[in-house]
């Protein structure tokens, strides 16, 4: 039988985790070895802090909430001039290879009824192009535009890391240089019961949960990705999430505004559709920039209007950011310097004999947008929702594959009409089945300027490819 080291035994005892010994006593061989290895990697000092946090009463104090300063969509002539100079700077940064790309892709598509990493889910309205393919082709477009091989940092999770790597290999890295793709995995944390003791999913397996999208910053540091960036002269990263095929990671306006402002972290936002849309908005919380959850915004502020008649708190968070590498290094030098959020859950946990029962307990997460509070300067860029945000989160309804495909068709149709090409007949969902490869164009202006557009008929729809 594999022996438990005295050091780990003392750590478990000091942390009030003596119940773990009963699980270990019932195990032998590889199962026991694996559990000991997992336990040795747990930061039980941190877990004690989180257990104490979970027992604290919720903070019911009122906070001062204020809208953020926006670089708006509707711009004055002075703003347009400022935007033009920022675009020039952004183009120079991309051409110099100063910007890397971080994709958060740790999720599975189980909510969509698809047993694979979410990035492999097909969303192309005509070609069934996957989310990974859309993002890769946008990076290929950046390579064509700026002449630099993009360095792509893909965050996976322990649940989908092997599958994600296999998908990239099978698809020949979507035309990118395999040496330019750096995979790293999000870390997991044990879930705790109401007494602060770690829970188990089986007698041999800790109940582990992702440490939140804020954990992507810590994973960048611990995986060596930040060091990899430094070695290659990367000074800024463009951060985006896998579920949004409209994300534009190589946006020279956003990059230029961020760097010109000497910002640690910046964000893109879209206008809320209505006061009641259940989405977090960026704003100042007691003077510090952050994301205000929908439930935390009082009704009077949800409907408040500014001098232009628009919602004051309209800056819907779409999880698209620019971050300075040195800023991420500062936040992760010793440990992740972000606040922890407690999720109170009913969870199915295993007893040492394998019996499963519902237990009250806690999971813990960090949120990447909380890093905004630590940034001395920040740009909040308002972008057009129809052009940059259509996530795939739900099986049906809003933010679903169907709504995403409809949004893609609705985006592309005016581009095709503008060049005088005939629109295809509407499909069963009432959409003109059109798909434009990001390598052809990422905007209508770029599409109109292309003289080498290649139109291909494809299963009742049309596709424009390079």
Question: pLDDT digits over 21-46, tens only?
Answer: 999 999 999 999 999 999 999 999 99
Model pLDDT, residue 118: 97
The model's confidence at residue 61, banded by pLDDT at 50, 70 and 90, is: confident
The model's confidence at residue 143, banded by pLDDT at 50, 70 and 90, is: very high
Alpha-carbon distance of 2 to 40, in angstroms, equals 14
Average the pLDDT over 268-278 and give the result: 95
Percent of the chain with pLDDT over 70: 99
The model's confidence at residue 459, banded by pLDDT at 50, 70 and 90, is: confident
The model's confidence at residue 2, banded by pLDDT at 50, 70 and 90, is: low
In the chain the domains, ranked by start, together with CATH numbers, are: 1-41 (no CATH), 47-393 (3.90.550.10), 398-466 (no CATH)
Model pLDDT, residue 126: 95
The model's confidence at residue 453, banded by pLDDT at 50, 70 and 90, is: confident
* pLDDT tops 80 at residue 382: yes
- Residue 294 to residues 31, 276, 413: CA-CA distances in angstroms? 44, 9, 33
Model pLDDT, residue 172: 98
Helical (H) or strand (E) element with 281: strand 281-285
Tokens linked to 166: 């296999």
The model's confidence at residue 4, banded by pLDDT at 50, 70 and 90, is: confident
Average the pLDDT over 129-144 and give the result: 98
**Tens of pLDDT along 296-312?**
999 999 999 999 899 99
Model pLDDT, residue 407: 97
Contacts of residue 31, defined as CB under 8 A and 6 or more positions apart, other chains included, come to 204
**Tens of pLDDT along 171-192?**
999 999 999 999 999 999 999 9
* pLDDT tops 90 at residue 58: no
Residue whose structure tokens are 């705790």: 192
**Tens of pLDDT along 329-340?**
999 998 888 999
Short-list 327, 328, 294, 332, CA closest to 313: 294
Cut 0.75: pTM above it: yes
- Residue 144 to residues 95, 141, 176, 441: CA-CA distances in angstroms? 10, 5, 12, 11
Model pLDDT, residue 1: 55
Q: Is 153 helix (H, G, I), strand (E, B) or coil?
A: strand
Q: Quick check: 242 and 393 in contact, CB under 8 A?
A: no
Mean model confidence pLDDT for the chain: 95
- Residue 308 sits at the vertex; the CA angle it makes with 304 and 312, to the nearest 5 degrees, is 30
Average the pLDDT over 231-240 and give the result: 98
């Amino acid at each position: 039988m594999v022996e438990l080291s005295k050091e780990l035994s003392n750590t478990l005892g000091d942390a009030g985790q003596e119940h773990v010994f009963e699980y270990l006593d019932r195990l032998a061989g590889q199962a026991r070895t694996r559990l000991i290895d997992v336990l040795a990697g747990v930061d039980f000092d941190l877990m004690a802090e989180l257990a104490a946090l979970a027992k604290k009463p919720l903070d019911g104090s009122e906070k001062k909430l204020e809208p953020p300063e926006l670089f708006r969509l509707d711009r004055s002539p002075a703003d347009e001039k400022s935007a033009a100079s920022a675009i020039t700077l952004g183009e120079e940064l991309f051409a110099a290879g100063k910007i890397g790309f971080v994709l958060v892709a740790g999720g599975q598509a189980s909510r969509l009824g698809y047993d694979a990493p979410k990035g492999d889910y097909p969303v192309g309205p005509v070609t069934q192009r996957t989310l990974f393919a859309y993002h890769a082709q946008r990076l290929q477009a950046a390579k064509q535009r700026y002449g630099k091989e993009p360095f792509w940092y893909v965050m996976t999770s322990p649940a989908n890391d092997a599958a994600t790597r296999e998908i990239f290999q099978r698809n020949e890295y979507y035309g990118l240089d395999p040496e330019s793709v750096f995979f790293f995995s999000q870390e997991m944390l044990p879930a705790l019961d109401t007494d602060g003791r770690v829970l188990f999913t089986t007698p041999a397996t800790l109940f582990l949960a992702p440490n939140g999208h804020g954990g992507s910053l810590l994973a960048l540091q611990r995986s060596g990705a930040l060091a990899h960036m430094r070695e290659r002269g990367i000074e800024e990263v463009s951060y985006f999430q896998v579920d949004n095929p409209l994300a534009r990671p190589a946006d020279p306006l956003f990059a230029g505004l961020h760097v010109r402002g000497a910002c640690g972290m910046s964000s893109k936002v879209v206008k809320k559709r209505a006061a009641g849309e259940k989405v977090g908005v960026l704003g100042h919380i007691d003077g510090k920039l952050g994301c205000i959850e929908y439930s935390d915004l009082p009704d009077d502020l949800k409907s408040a209007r500014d001098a232009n008649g628009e919602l004051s708190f309209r800056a819907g968070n779409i999880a698209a950011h620019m971050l300075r590498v040195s800023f991420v290094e500062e936040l992760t030098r010793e440990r992740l310097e972000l606040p922890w959020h407690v999720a109170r859950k009913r969870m199915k946990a295993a007893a040492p004999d394998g019996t499963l029962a519902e237990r009250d307990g806690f999971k813990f997460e960090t949120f990447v947008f909380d890093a905004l509070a630590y940034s001395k300067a920040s740009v909040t860029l308002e972008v057009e929702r129809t052009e940059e945000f259509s996530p795939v989160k739900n099986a049906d309804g809003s933010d679903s594959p169907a709504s995403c495909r409809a949004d893609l068709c609705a985006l592309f149709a005016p581009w095709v009409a503008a060049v005088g090409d005939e629109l295809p007949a509407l499909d069963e969902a009432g959409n003109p089945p059109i798909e434009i490869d990001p390598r052809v164009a990422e905007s209508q202006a770029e599409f109109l300027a292309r003289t080498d557009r290649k139109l291909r008929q494809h299963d009742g729809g049309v596709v424009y490819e390079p």
